[in-house]
Amino acid sequence: MRFSLCFLALMAIGSASAERLTLDRIHGDPALAGPGMRKMKVSPDGARVTFLRGRTDDQFQLDLWEFNLKDKSSRLLVDSRVLVPQENLSDAEKARRERERTASLKGIISYSWSPDGKQLLVPIAGNLYLVELAKPDSARLVATGAVLDPQISPKGRYVSFVRDQNLFVLDLSTGKERQLTSDGAAAIHNGEAEFVAQEEMHQVSGYYWAPDDSAIAFKRYDESKVPVARRFEIYADRTDVIEQRYPAAGDPNVAVQLFIVSPASGERREVDLGSEKDIYLVRADWSANSKALLFQRQTRDQKKLELVSVDAATLGQRVLITETSKTWVNVLEEPRFLAKRNAFLWVSERDGRRHLYLHDLDGKLLHPVSKGDWGIDGLLAVDEKAGRVYVSSNKDAVIDKQVYALNLDGSNADKPKRVTQADGWHDVSFSRNGEVFVDTFSDPATPPNVSIRRPDGSMVGWLERNELNESHPYFKYKSDHLPTEYGTLKAKDGQTLHYSLLKPYKFDAAKRYPVYLSTYGGPGAQHVARKWGNNFDQYMAQQGFVVFRLDNRGSSRRERVFTDAIYRNLGKVEVEDQLTGVEWLSKQSFVDAKRIGVFGWSYGGFMTLRLLSQASDKIAMGVSVAPVTDWQLYDTHYTERFMDRPQDNAEGYKQSTVFAHADGLKSNLLLIHGMADDNVLFTNTTKMIDALVNRKVQFELMTYPGAKHGISSRAGQLHVYSYIDAYFKKNLKPETN
């Protein structure tokens, strides 16, 4: 469960000056963060940067732009409304966007460069266009029919895509389309990633091109043994009965196969995935010379992951690396093969922290590239000529994200050189050769600005300066923007917990204020970060609340001893740590301990219910949105990673439910859920309703017709946050300023 980007419209905002910040303005146009950019990519020749940008009249309608590095000019390349005036998305595309947390977006959601840098592949509304950089106004329609996951082959000869659960290629030299599979239908899917792979393993594709265009490795899966979850999707004007193949914890998963197919001839061969069939095929990749296909195979219990090399000619195979854990092995990154050396880079948590290692092609460890009492987020780029690699990490501050340079020979493995200098949050995208990178930077007082820089951190130029001047959408709220304070507390086992705090508008140290505690609490997410803040937090502080966040044990970007504390009993240590934060708040002279409320969405919704169930004497009220209430109702890969299967941990599953603790729920509760949620199924909330009714607990309920997990429509987002705002004010009664 990655936190659904239900805050999509809320990210990157601020405060108030001549005007006060309002919920209507937060969800209005233009975006308060300024002209935001997505999917920044440096062209293959390094001459330009392309990006997606929302329109001034609709921040969620994305167009394709370019920035020319030579003359420092920007121009609109593709107007999405000209290309497709009215979008009609297939159900498969809607589901895919829900998995990718882009359900609220329209227009151009993704694009890719041709390897020669002369063309761009642009999918929109199920159609596929090729755009010549020299003539962007004459986009060429090359495929139709609800195409999914389009790609340009590495050498640029083909375009590939999935249509109707089958894999296709289009030869760009002849214009001929070839169907590479034909059995895709009903429960059979070719070239696609299954539900849990998309949702939990970060798989955005189910097929992988060889670097020389000679072959494609693709996943074929059969979901016929996955139980059917019959659920109602209730809309304003109709009710659809959906039969969704949903593998809940302990249930059968899809049966998966791996094939290699020739795009030229259509000949395909099956790769042996081993004698054990109940596995996860995490992903597949190719060696730099296209002679070896490498796939990652994870056991069902997720305690072992193997990197297997397959000879593309003979299909002979060998295991190169085996990762094991007493708790679980995280799915990390693909191997990164070096072009000038018979070796590859591999990310591992084998020593308790995430580090980078160099292995030879036989899998033998050559040396660590990074090491020490810190960990990397991931590998960003490799510059073999300079003998350097670039990684992102929070080495210098847990709440920050920075870029660091490491020597490929391991000589500075424990002393990386910091490239980005400003304290705060840097999201970075490198060019293929590592010679430049695009840096999106923000901190709590600085909305995201985008610069282009060299590997030493020096400036090439601004892509988007985004200064908070009089022309900025947020300027009129700037003078009332409230600063974010950061600090640490100690968990019961002595580990460090990071928190953030906003004090109310016109703060008076002699007064006592109510608390808006925002929680997520689940693995794979960091809720406390030094970056441009969430506008709803800023709004609530301006409404008279102390706004508090805390990252409990289990949260991401930390060492394994911190994350593994949740193993086999979800909710136990997370609740302990959040209550450590509540106890600290209660001791502050400016906090009214009788007016503390909690809000959470998804895993945060689960945490809200658990906190109210176990600490109604300390927390006066809560708002729980789209909560998991019983982990046997959630999917296999996520749940079993932390809990094992229900049949192997019956007591852990029992104690991890909300229901095992619900007798203690006495505080005021608002329960919210989308009525078409296919991630955290609505059944979680109906079971909670039944439990509360049987316990004679009064509560409020809000359901949203047709809404998925993120309740992502603009009207839905405005309504849900207006409801949360009103519920907090009604129950905790902050002073108005």
Upstream peptide bond of 627 is cis (omega within 30 degrees of 0): no
Residue 108, pLDDT > 60, answer yes
Q: What is the pLDDT of residues 590-639, one digit of tens each?
A: 999 999 999 999 999 999 999 999 999 999 999 999 999 999 999 999 99
State the chain's mean pLDDT as an integer.
94
- Looking at residue 433, its pLDDT comes to 78
Give the pLDDT band (50/70/90) at residue 10. very low
Q: Residue 483, Cβ neighbours under 10 Å: how many?
A: 12
- Looking at residue 259, its pLDDT comes to 98
CA distance 23 to 719: 9
CA distance 534 to 26: 10
- Residue environment code for 514-549, b if the CB has 16+ CB neighbours within 10 A, otherwise e: bbbbbbbbbbbbbbbbbbbbbbbbbbbbbbbbbbbb
- In degrees, to the nearest 5, what angle opens at C-alpha 170 toward C-alphas 166 and 174? 150
DSSP 287-314: -TTSSEEEEEEEETTSSEEEEEEEETTT
- Looking at residue 518, its pLDDT comes to 98
- Looking at residue 633, its pLDDT comes to 97
CA distance 218 to 168: 11
Mean pLDDT to the nearest integer, 536-562: 98
- Looking at residue 8, its pLDDT comes to 35
CA distance 250 to 256: 17
Residue 150, pLDDT > 70, answer yes
Tell me how far apart the 2 most distant CA atoms of the chain are, in Å: 78
Query: If we measure between CA atoms, which residue out of 247, 248, 98, 234 comes closest to residue 630?
Result: 248
The DSSP H or E segment spanning 11 is none
At residue 724, what is the residue type? I
DSSP 693-710: HHTT---EEEEETT--TT
Phi, psi (degrees; rounded to nearest 5) at 653:
-65, -40
Residue 726, pLDDT > 70, answer yes
Mean pLDDT to the nearest integer, 292-308: 98
Give the pLDDT band (50/70/90) at residue 99. confident
CA distance 488 to 497: 5
Give the pLDDT band (50/70/90) at residue 398. very high
Mean pLDDT to the nearest integer, 428-439: 91
Report the phi/psi class of residue 424: left, alpha or beta, with left for phi > 0 and alpha for psi in -120 to 50: left
CA distance 119 to 131: 5
Sign of CA dihedral 159, 162, 163, 169: positive
Alpha carbon distances (Å) from 4 to 32, 104, 168, 418? 21, 11, 31, 31
Percent of the chain, pLDDT > 70? 97
Q: What is the pLDDT of residues 681-697, one digit of tens each?
A: 999 999 999 999 999 99
- Looking at residue 14, its pLDDT comes to 37
The DSSP H or E segment spanning 109 is none
- Looking at residue 173, its pLDDT comes to 92
The 135-143 sheet, strands edge to edge: 112-113, 119-124, 127-132, 135-143
Query: If we measure between CA atoms, which residue out of 419, 454, 417 comes closest to residue 434?
Result: 454
Give the pLDDT band (50/70/90) at residue 100. confident
CA distance 620 to 729: 12
Alpha carbon distances (Å) from 333 to 43, 283, 285, 336, 456? 23, 9, 10, 9, 25
Residue 403, pLDDT > 70, answer yes
Residue 12, pLDDT > 90, answer no
- Looking at residue 85, its pLDDT comes to 83
Do the beta carbons of residue 208 and residue 284 sit within 8 Å?
yes
**Residue showing tokens 């063309």:** 119
Structure tokens, 186:
């009903």
- Looking at residue 163, its pLDDT comes to 97
- Looking at residue 1, its pLDDT comes to 58
Give the pLDDT band (50/70/90) at residue 103. confident
- Looking at residue 423, its pLDDT comes to 98
CA distance 385 to 371: 23
How many residues belong to the chain?
Answer: 737
Residue 538, pLDDT > 50, answer yes
Alpha carbon distances (Å) from 506 to 68, 411, 502, 542, 548? 45, 52, 12, 8, 17
CA distance 702 to 635: 25
Structure tokens, 324:
């094991």
CA distance 462 to 332: 32
Alpha carbon distances (Å) from 164 to 90, 91, 193? 11, 11, 14
Q: What is the pLDDT of residues 648-670, one digit of tens each?
A: 999 999 999 999 999 999 999 99
Quick one: DSSP state of residue 561? H
Do the beta carbons of residue 630 and residue 639 sit within 8 Å?
no
Query: If we measure between CA atoms, which residue out of 681, 586, 641, 581 comes closest to residue 244?
Result: 681
Which distant-in-sequence residues (6+ apart) come within 8 Å of 214 by Cβ? Answer: 262, 263, 290
At residue 6, what is the residue type? C
**Residue showing tokens 């259509």:** 266
Residue 11, pLDDT > 60, answer no
- Looking at residue 15, its pLDDT comes to 37
Quick one: DSSP state of residue 164? T
Residue 736, pLDDT > 90, answer no
- Looking at residue 457, its pLDDT comes to 95
Q: What is the pLDDT of residues 202-238, one digit of tens each?
A: 899 999 999 999 999 999 999 999 999 888 888 888 8
Do the beta carbons of residue 107 and residue 124 sit within 8 Å?
yes
Q: What is the pLDDT of residues 332-341, one digit of tens each?
A: 999 999 999 9
Query: If we measure between CA atoms, which residue out of 673, 635, 653 comes closest to residue 245?
Result: 635
- Looking at residue 96, its pLDDT comes to 75
Say which range, 8-12, 320-324, 519-523, has the weakest mean pLDDT: 8-12
| DSSP E strand boundaries for 300-354 | 304-311, 317-324, 336-337, 343-348
Query: If we measure between CA atoms, which residue out of 15, 11, 12, 10 comes closest to residue 481?
Result: 15
Residue 522, pLDDT > 90, answer yes
Provide the annotated active-site residues. Answer: 602, 677, 709
Give the 3-state secondary structure of 33-84: CCCCEEEEEECCCCCEEEEEEEECCEEEEEEEEEEECCCCEEEEEECHHHHC
Do the beta carbons of residue 402 and residue 395 sit within 8 Å?
yes
- Top mean pLDDT of 98-112, 236-250, 707-721 is at 707-721
Q: What is the pLDDT of residues 335-364, one digit of tens each?
A: 999 999 999 999 999 999 999 999 999 999
